[in-house]
Structure 1
Amino acid sequence: MIRSLQHLSRFIALGSLILSNNRLQWIELQHIRHMFILDLRLDGNTILDADPNYRQHVLDCLPRIWMCDGIFVSTAERNQIDEFFTQSSLKLKPVRHKLSRDIFMPTNLKDRATNGLFG
């Protein structure tokens, strides 16, 4: 059973990532938040599946996936999710984002800001 996604954080893009039927928690998605993923499967993770807003949270946590659990993610759906969180913030018991909205992009470039691209 997979419990951590930290080892995947060095990748920038993946075609398919099947993480179904594991023991992932929401916080683990931060390790793949920066990645472009064509097809992500997360179904069967009991902690994630228990959330009544599972799909909204997955798409909010992972803004660069194209398919989630076999279902294409459209621009319209992404806009609906933004609206969902906006409307929820106005309620007495708002639905909160599972992860920070900031995305960290790992890089192997060192001292880029200090030395520039060419040293």
Structure 2
Amino acid sequence: MHLDHDPAAPPADEIGFDDFLKVDIRVGTIVEAEVYEGARKPSLKLRIDFGPGVGLRKSVGQVRARYAPEDLIGRQVAAVVNFPPRQIGKAVSEALTLGFADEEGRVVLFSPDAPVPDGSRLF
């Protein structure tokens, strides 16, 4: 499946509500962030605390074009937590941190606009 980042693209194929419920999107707080040296695209390695139900997860995000590691510590983000771990170069990503492309194609992280408990599920 190819993801189209073009804002003028038509919507993806319809899915049932039960299919949506299979995707477990949670909020977590970034507790560590560092530059991922050697990545093909400007990326950061993140460690995110999703609370007691999910725990700490590693995520690799192509967010370095907009964010410095030190600016992300303490920030809440949304991520898919029920994909299998994925090898990204020499790193393993255990959660897919979510974002949108800006006008220049840089990733803007998806976050709640007010603090919520870590581990809260999107509905």
The structure, 1 or 2, with the larger RCO (C-alpha pairs under 8 Å, 6+ apart) is 2
Do the structures match in fold with TM over 0.5?
no
Q: State the TM bucket, normalised to the shorter chain.
A: under 0.3
Q: Of Structure 1 and Structure 2, which has the larger fraction of its residues in helix?
A: 1
Normalising to structure 2: TM-score of the pair? 0.23
Higher strand share: 2
